[in-house]
Chains A and B, each alone.
Chain A
Amino acid sequence: MTEAVKTPHIPLEKQKLLTVNGDEAVAWAAKQSLVDVVAAYPITPQTIIVEKFSEFVANGEVHTEFVPVESEHSAMSACVGAAAAGARAFTATAANGLALMWEILYIAASLRLPIVLAVANRALSAPINIHCDHSDAMGMRDAGWIQLFVENVQEAYDTTIQAFKIAEDERVLLPVAVNLDGFFLSHTLENIHILPDEAVHEFLGGYRKVPKVKVDYFDEEVPLMLNPARPLSFGPLDLYDYYFEHKMHQVEAMKRVPEVVREVNEKWYELTGRKYGDGILVPYEVEDADIIVTVLGSTGGTVRHIVKKLRREGKKVGMVRIKMFRPFPHKELAEILKNAKVVGVMDRAISFGSYGPSFLDINTALYDYKKKPLLVNYIYGLGGRDAPPELLEKMFNELLSDAEKGYVENKLRFLGVRE
C-alpha cells in the first residue's frame, strides 16, 4: 500500500500515467535506469519484460547492449561478465529458467556484482505449469541475493528502479531479485505513474559508478572491474585458506542491506510521494491485533481487503506484507508479531518434508521471546491456484477460533486445496 506525501519533488501531475501490466512496468523501469547490458532468454510469464525492452532497443530509445542468449544459464553468465566489466546489467526470468540460472546466481552474489534480476514468479515443473507461485524464488533463497517481493504494478516499477540503487550502494554490492507474481502482476494491467527519465537518472546518480579499491600491485586505487589496462581477477581459486573469510564478507554485506533499503525507500518517497512501509515490511492494522497474517507478493492486497472488512466487523485482525525476504527482517518482524495471539504465516511455496520458507524464518525470529504468539503455516496458491477474498476470510476465521481456544492443533495447513 502506498501512502501519499504532501509535496513530492515530482508532483503526481508531472508523472506520466501509464496503463500497463507488471512486465511492461518493469521494462519501463529498466529503460529509465540506464542499463548498459541486458542478456535474456524468454520464458512465460516473464517474456513481456524482455520483449518490451527489446522494442526500446530496436527503436533506439536506449543505449543498452542487448544480448539474446541461448539459455538462462548463459543470460546470467553474460550479466556476470558485463557487471564485472563495470556495466549496469539486468535480466529477467521465471520458474525453470531461474532454476537453470542457479549455478551462476551464486557466482553473481559471491563476486559482489550488483545485477538486477526480475523474476515473474511461476511454479516449477513437473507437471508443467505456467502460473504463479514462489517456488522458483525460494530455490534461490540461499544464493546470496537480496530478494524483494512486490504487491502491485506500480510497486514493480518503483522497486525495479530502487533495486539498482540498493545493489550498487557501496555498503551493499549485492545482486537484487525483484519478484512479481506471474500473471497476477506480470499480465495484469494497472494504472501507474512513472517519473520523467531525467528524474530516474538523477535518482540513480547517472550510469553505474564502480567503487575504487586498493590493490597491492597498483600505486593508486583502481576501479573494481575487469580492465585490461589494470588487470584484476574475479573469483579465482580460494580454498580453505580464504574461502570462509570471503563468505564472511557476504554475511557482513547482508547485515548492511536493511539500512540502505530504508534510505532508498525514504528517498523514493520524497521524490515520488510513494513508499512501501519502511521498504522492508508493510504492516497494516497491527497495533492492537490479536490475529496477524504475514504474506508475500500480490496476495498482500487481497489480505488487506479482508482485514479492512473484518475490522469493520470489529474483529482485531491485522497483516504484515514481507517486502524484503532476503535478508530476512527477523527482529523487525518479531517486534510487530510478538504481542499477537495467533500469527498465520502464508507461504506460496513449500519445502517438502518441512514447512513453508517464511514460516521457518518467523519461528526463528520469535524463538527467543518469552511472550510470543501461536504460529500457523498456510500453504496456498501453488501452481497459480487463486486466493480469493472468501478463502482468506475463512483463514482469518480459523485463526480467530485458534485464538479463542488458545492452542493450535494443526500447524501446517493447506489453503484452497481439494480434500
Chain B
Amino acid sequence: MMIEVRWHGRGGQGAWTAANLLAMAAAIDGKHVQSFPAFGPERSGAPILAFTRISDKPIDLHSMVYEPDIVIVLDPTLLKNVPVTEGLKKNGLIVVNYEGDTEKLYKMLGIEKGEYRVYITPATKLALEILKRPITNTAMIGALLKAEKLVSFESIEKALYERFPKPIAEKNLGLIKQAYELAREV
C-alpha cells in the first residue's frame, strides 16, 4: 500500500524539508519512500509544492503526484488562491494550519462537510511561540500524526536529530508535540 502526500507552502516555510523529514522517518520505520519538491525555481513567499510517497514495497513511480491521499497546507493564506484539494482522493485527508471559524474554512476549501477528513492546528501561533519565526513545517507534521499515524514519534525524533543541530531539533520536537496536542478534526 502506498500513501501519497502533497505539501502546500510558501517558499521559506520549509515544505520540502517537511516532506523530507516525513520520508526520513518512514524510512527509519522500514518503509520505502520518496520525497521531492515540485521542481520550480525557489522564491521566498511564492506558493510551492512538495511531495512524499510512503510504501510497503519498493516504489517504481518516478513522476509527480496528481492524486494525493493527504494534502497538508502550511500557510492558511494559500487557501484563497491555490486549489489545495485538486486531485485529492475520495475521503482523503486535509491538514491545515488554521485557527478560527471552521465554516469559513470549509468555504475557502470549497468542500462540503463529510466530503473529506479535515484537521487543523494553530501552527503559525505555535511556531512563533517556540521558534520565534513563522516556520510551520514541523508543526504540521505534528498535526498530520494526530490525524494519521504514518510514522512513529521515535522515528520523527531520529529524523529531526539527523537533519538539524541539536538545539534546533529539540525545539522542533517540542513544536511537533504541541501541534499534535492542539490538532483536532473539524
8 Å CB contacts to B: which residues of A301-324? 301-302, 304-305, 308
Known: A183-B39, A387-B63, A389-B63. A17 touches B34 (CB 8 A): no
Task: State the total of A-B contacts with C-beta under 8 angstroms.
Answer: 71
A32 at the binding interface (Cβ < 8 Å): no
A130, A152, A304: which contacts B41 (Cβ < 8 A)? A130
B41, B59, B64: which contacts A190 (Cβ < 8 A)? B59
Taking a contact as CB atoms under 8 Å apart, the answer to whether A189 and B63 are in contact is no
B106 at the binding interface (Cβ < 8 Å): no
A181 at the binding interface (Cβ < 8 Å): yes
Taking a contact as CB atoms under 8 Å apart, the answer to whether B60 and A188 are in contact is no
Stretch from B24-32, B96-104, B173-181 contacting the other chain: B24-32
A131–B38 CA distance with the chains assembled, in angstroms: 11
Taking a contact as CB atoms under 8 Å apart, the answer to whether A152 and B39 are in contact is no
Taking a contact as CB atoms under 8 Å apart, the answer to whether B62 and A301 are in contact is yes
Taking a contact as CB atoms under 8 Å apart, the answer to whether A189 and B41 are in contact is no
Measured as residues with beta carbon below 8 angstroms from the partner, the interface class of chain B is: 20 to 34
Taking a contact as CB atoms under 8 Å apart, the answer to whether B27 and A19 are in contact is yes
A189–B32 CA distance with the chains assembled, in angstroms: 11
Taking a contact as CB atoms under 8 Å apart, the answer to whether A302 and B60 are in contact is yes
Which residues of chain A come closer than 8 Å to B61, judged between CB atoms?
A: 301-302, 305, 389
Taking a contact as CB atoms under 8 Å apart, the answer to whether A388 and B66 are in contact is yes
A300–B59 CA distance with the chains assembled, in angstroms: 12
- Nearest-neighbour CB distance to chain B for A302, whole angstroms, equals 5
Which residues of chain B come closer than 8 Å to A151, judged between CB atoms?
A: 62
B20 at the binding interface (Cβ < 8 Å): yes
Taking a contact as CB atoms under 8 Å apart, the answer to whether A189 and B34 are in contact is yes
Taking a contact as CB atoms under 8 Å apart, the answer to whether B62 and A189 are in contact is no
- Nearest-neighbour CB distance to chain A for B95, whole angstroms, equals 21
Interface string of B84-122 (1 = CB under 8 A from A): 000000000000000000000000000000000000000
Known: A301-B62, A302-B62, A386-B64. A188 touches B34 (CB 8 A): yes
Taking a contact as CB atoms under 8 Å apart, the answer to whether A298 and B62 are in contact is yes
CB-based nearest B residue for A181: B62
- Which of B35, B39, B41 counts the most chain A CB atoms within 10 A? B39
A304–B61 CA distance with the chains assembled, in angstroms: 8
A131–B63 CA distance with the chains assembled, in angstroms: 13
Taking a contact as CB atoms under 8 Å apart, the answer to whether B33 and A152 are in contact is no
8 Å CB contacts to B: which residues of A156-194? 181, 183-185, 187-191
8 Å CB contacts to B: which residues of A383-399? 384, 386-389
CB-based nearest B residue for A2: B58
CB-based nearest A residue for B159: A19
Known: A131-B39, A183-B39. A304 touches B34 (CB 8 A): no
A19–B59 CA distance with the chains assembled, in angstroms: 14
A189–B62 CA distance with the chains assembled, in angstroms: 11
A6–B41 CA distance with the chains assembled, in angstroms: 44
Besides A184-B36, A189-B24, A301-B60, 16 more A-B contacts (Cβ < 8 Å) are A1-B58, A19-B20, A19-B27, A131-B39, A184-B63, A185-B62, A189-B23, A189-B33, A190-B32, A190-B59, A191-B31, A299-B62, A301-B59, A302-B62, A304-B60, A389-B61
